[in-house]
Structure 1
């Protein structure tokens, strides 16, 4: 009986999600409605939140059959996590059909028709552009400590080979960068060296100071590996590069990679630059894939928003957490990171985003205190508690 059940589920998954060799993706058209809260009459922000809600629901519906089938199979101990992971959905394009404000309920409803692809987003430039837009067009910056041969390592005010190739590969995919030349001329050397040395907080601070939401930090080395290849004057030069991408507002590492490259060349310096370029291209591709996967999961499922709450006592903190968990839309889980001297740090796993959550918190009735939003970024909300 179990064998028959396994076979039936396998056929279901194959018929719904198998893509023939002549097609690289399966596209599903979904019509769905999203809802956004209207705060202080601001219909524009409500529309943005309703649109994001609708886009998330469209992806959920497109992969919903697979999730239901997986749940059924898991009850009989057949693990299909790998199938689910490889069948993620993403928005290729969408059209807004209607938008209807309901001021009595304080909400705005947006209906969309979306084309959802079940497949790999990495080579779909239009979908990547839409993903970047939904993430608020985060700006990037890159700092790589580069050493070729006997040259001294350390921070340079000029763009290195590795920095140049990383910016080029990211830009080809539609990512936005701050003006690197201007930033490097004005950046404090000691901060750059701290970040290069592994201080993620220093890297995050640099990003915040120069308007970058994501900072790529790392090191690259090229050195001579051998001379006289096959009796010639050619030299064998090997390069290695390591980097990580850090969110400036929270300090979270969202991707990391290490790659190597090798080349034969007459000149050690010129060959070293080419070997670093080769390794840098592979590293950039790896970082891009990880970031796209991370952001796709956040806009299509859940993300983590960090709350820093100041001026709160222990009793009020417990009430604050209870209200967030039970009354704020989209909240899945709370993780309290710390509570020291009246300041609490809480990570909130949510299906919405920081903007939407901040608006809801500002409207909540906490009875014995009120909250004031004093800072807001893509992944972090700074809150001040005011006793009543």
Structure 2
């Protein structure tokens, strides 16, 4: 799995803090003036994104998502000035000067953060022993090491997950009944891998040449590792896995540790496949028509939407005469999105009409 360097992440974060827009002079062509301008906008956005993300090192699904970003390039540019326009047969070519919006709250940066997380998600790992004796440090370490070898750069140190050890918290999270968004942010993690390890073993016996068996000093260990991949912000279970391993050693503990390491290595391989397909459900745009005479309420609504899991971007398309239109990038349908919003929002929200991809609502600050 190829991944872009951590330096690219730092460049993205730095860029979002110091620049609200980048001025680009570029060219485009098409069958008419508008299509040529759209081509120029894509070229301009590609130039800017190229300073932040090396597309050659993106995993497949993240690269697909980046293509969807480029397809919406026209929505990321402003102050378009046509410097030259010429026609060559059936082709129109333009040279333009435009600003690419790179404000930290701009839709482009929201989309790129999603690509970034998709390409290299931040993962915390906890493995508990099935016999109730606590965490299994060796399998956690083996899982972490294998994930790093597979190219995941943001694997949380096991010592930092100690505050998640409470059985009631983990139980609710594992069943999808809660989220731990605040804890996930404090750990610097997007996902929790929550596993359970069952161990067994026995002494190796060999034929004694007299029709019987004699015991040896060697032991065999068997491990069965089951687990769930869980989103911190929503508690959603994204996938499950079950792997096994066997080990041999001159003591039971050594043999079981070797078995656990093999089961953990196989689990990491299974998780890689799952993480590579996290973008299979690409975002759609949900349109919210928001009625309120309070501009501050609209800003609060946008902030709350951006803080929700499964929301990749929020943009204000227009606002006038007590009405605002918001575009929300999310794989969720509008009814599910609004249900989760109403459960957490500090605003008063009255939904007038809702379809799969749109909704009309009135809001007020409480």
TM-score, reference length from structure 1: 0.47
TM-score, reference length from structure 2: 0.49
